[in-house]
Amino acid sequence: MGTAVQDVSLNKKVAKLLALCREKGLLLRTAESCTAGGIAAAIASEAGASDVLDRGWVLYSNRAKYEELGVKQDLIDRCGAVSREVVQAMAVGGMAKPAPCHSVCVAVSGIAGPGGGTSDKPVGTVWLAVAMSETDIVSRCYRFSGDRADIQAAAIEQAIMLLLETLSE
The arithmetic mean of pLDDT across residues 74-89, rounded, is 97
The arithmetic mean of pLDDT across residues 72-96, rounded, is 97
Beta-carbon count within 10 A of 81 CB: 23
What is the residue-averaged pLDDT of the chain? 93
Q: What is the pLDDT of residue 98?
A: 73
Q: What is the pLDDT of residue 100?
A: 61
Beta-carbon count within 10 A of 25 CB: 8
Pick the CATH number of 4-168 from 2.40.30.110, 1.25.10.10, 3.90.950.20, 2.60.40.10: 3.90.950.20
| Domain range list for the chain | 4-168
Q: Please check the confidence at residue 146 and state whether its pLDDT lies above 50.
A: yes
The arithmetic mean of pLDDT across residues 43-59, rounded, is 96
CB neighbour burial string for 148-158, b if at least 16 within 10 angstroms, e if fewer:
eebbbbbbbbb
Q: What is the pLDDT of residue 8?
A: 77
pLDDT tens digits, 107-120: 999 999 999 999 99
